[in-house]
Structure formats: C-alpha cells, structure tokens
Amino acid sequence: MVSLWIVLLLSLISPFAVAAQYAGSESCQQCHQQAYQDWSASHHQAAMLKATDESVLGDFNNTAFTYGKITSTFYRKGKEFWVKTENALGQLEDFKISYTFGVYPLQQYIVDFDDGRKQVLSIIWDSRPASQGGQHWYHLYPEHESLSHGLPAQPAVDSNDPLHWTGTQFNWNTRCASCHSTGLVNKFDIKTNTFNTTWNEINVSCESCHGSGKDHIGWARSESQPPPQHFGFKHTISNPALWQYPNARQRIKYRSSSNNPHQVDVCAHCHSRRQELSQWEPDSSFADQHIPRLIEAGLYYPDGQMLDEVYVYGSFMQSKMHAKGVVCSDCHNPHSLSLKNQGIRCAANAITLRCSTLWLTTITLMTKPASV
C-alpha cells in the first residue's frame, strides 16, 4: 500500500520537476539550423498557436454557418477573432478565439473559459485548397446523410448532447493537450473544479520528443570531453543503424544492427489509439504510460489495417516492416515530417527503392517497351 502511494506521489511531482529542465526550441536553433528550419514549417510547429493573422486560416469576415437550428457567425474585433455560437445553455453567446489547433487538412479553434477550461469548437475550417473541396466551415458531426460517409443520418448535436463543444468530450485540457504542447502539466484542482494547465511551449517542439534539453545545452556550451551519455539527454531517439545487402544475391536490405525501439515509443504517445495512465514523459517507455487499443471490431479491419482513427501505431506494430527493424525515421524526416525523397514523382516508391532492388526489377519489367 505504501509503495502505491509513493507511485501516485511521484506521478504528481515528476511533471513539475521535469518542466523546470526544459530549455525551449529557440535554444536548439544555433547548432541545429537545418533541423530547426524543417521543424519551423512542420505540422508539429503548428499543432497549437495563439490566434493571430499569421496562424488563423479560417474565414472570420462575418461569415455565417448554420448547423441544426443554430447559425454561428465568425467575425473580427480589431486583431481579435470571435464567434457567436451556441453556449452550454443553448443560447447564442460571443466567444473570443484564443488559439488555433492544427493546420492541415483542417484547423480547429479553442476558447478559454474562466475556470481554466479550454474548449475546442466543433465547427471546423477545411483548410484544403478550394480545388480539393476545401476553404469552408463544416461541423464535426454532420446531420445530413450526404455528409456522413454513407452512414444513417444523425440528428444535430445540441447543448443537451454529451458531444456539444462545451462538454467534456471537447475539453482541451483532458482530451487534446498532451499531444499538442510541450512540457504540459494539467494542474487540476479537485476542490474548486478548475484547471491551471501550463506548458513549456505551446506547440510540439524539440523537447516533446527529445526530452528536457538543459543538460544537453549545458554540455554543448562547455568544453567537457568526452560527451556524456546521449549527449546530455536521458534517452536517444536517433536511428544510427545502416541498411545493407547481406550478400550480392540478396535484393532486399537488412538492418546491420538493432534498431532504436524508443523512437517508436516516443512517436506512439500521439500516433496511437490509447489510454493515458500518467502525465506524458518522453524519457519513459510507451507501455509504462499507456494502454494501447488492440485489434477490435470498429477500429481495425480483420487483417489489421486501419479502419477508424487509430493513428498508425497499432497497424505498424503488426507489420513486416516493424518485424524487420524499420522505425519511423527510416521513411519520415523526423523534423519536417514529410516522407523522405519528397518532391520526386513518387516519394513512396523512392523510399521502397532505398531498401529493395526487387521493386526496381518489377518496375523495370512493367514499364519496359514490348518491342524490347
């Protein structure tokens, strides 16, 4: 029983101790210029931002959007962004937009409440180009069958519905925050039923994945040699292993040394369907802090492919790629998040060709002129 209380106490204390060790992404820029530049244009950088002319993509020029019996209006007050929409009592009320949430293919918006809650609007801006059907407002729960992907028509969500934007299902503090900000501490006061949630950085920054970096920066600015373990970090998510052909007859490359499982653990915190057991700490293992959802009807197809919004991890862990040692950064640039070889005609094929000449042989045979 005593050990259980110790674990609970540490779970409350440790986030505050770790938060004090964060250095901030700006401190990384001087030495890691390319990585910082890649990150600055990434979806991680835009995971959550203050609502400004630069970050807001939606149309707030007195634009009206009707859902069910409620017509909401998106408008400006000087440099501020506002929405008149249905409140928790079913009445129209004006709310100031405090933050943007995400960037592509959609952008959501967050409203601050006096009790520390941050609520995410369920009316969303489709940020895709107009040529792809974007550039308009839509509701997350469309009531029309034509917008429900073939499912039966749904009644409009109103203020009495648990899925109303002012309810717990759209509470940023408990539902969204841990994957969109760095060094997050929820600070919920059970006596007053209020939040005082804080973060080190508002978006997904360097230390969301690498962990607190003050010791690393302290070493980098000193003349200490040799470097400490993991260059001052508590863990490493680098992927140093090489992919090589075992012999001249093999057409598929194999990893020359073991992979880094902690890299997948760090990515899985957000890119998985899971239940969180504690405040996220990137230095600990995924399994110690989460319960992942298994292959269940409604979430996955029978063969393990993704059906619902399960965020990749579950399917990846069952894949032959994972079994052979592939990790996330083998295919993705970990800072820009784009596929490696992005910009060529088919980046996915180019990634495959990095590890297998079997695909190259197949493509050559498929495209070779019949006269040859």
Query: Using CA atoms, how far apart are residues 161 and 250, in angstroms rounded to an integer?
Result: 59
DSSP 34-88: HHHHHHHTSTTTTSEEE--TTT--S--SSEEEEETTEEEEEEEETTEEEEEEE-T
Which residues, at least 6 apart from 197, have a Cβ–Cβ distance to it below 8 Å? 116, 118, 173, 177, 184, 185, 186, 187, 188
Q: What is the pLDDT of residue 250?
A: 66
Helix (H, G, I), strand (E, B) or coil at 282: coil
260-266-270 Cα angle (round to 5): 145
- pTM, full prediction: 0.83
99 φ, ψ to 5°? -140, 155
Walking along the chain (372 residues) 10 residues at a time, the average pLDDT comes out as: 39 47 90 95 96 97 95 97 97 98 96 97 97 95 61 82 93 93 91 94 94 90 83 84 66 66 90 89 89 88 85 88 85 89 57 54 43 47
Two structure tokens written together for 76: 């400006």
- Our measurement of the distance from residue 214's CA atom to the centroid of its chain's CA atoms, rounded to an integer in Å, reads 24
Of 356, 339, 272, 364, the closest CA to residue 310 belongs to: 272
| Sign of torsion over alpha carbons 11, 17, 19, 22 | negative
List the one residue out of 157, 79, 76, 78 whose CA is nearest residue 121. Answer: 157
Using left for φ > 0, alpha for ψ between -120 and 50, and beta otherwise, residue 62 falls in: left
What is the sign, positive or negative, of the torsion defined by CA atoms of 147, 46, 281, 177? negative
Report how far apart, in Å, the C-alpha atoms of 174 and of each of 67, 120, 182, 184, 245 are.
26, 11, 15, 11, 47
Structure tokens at 59: 């149309």
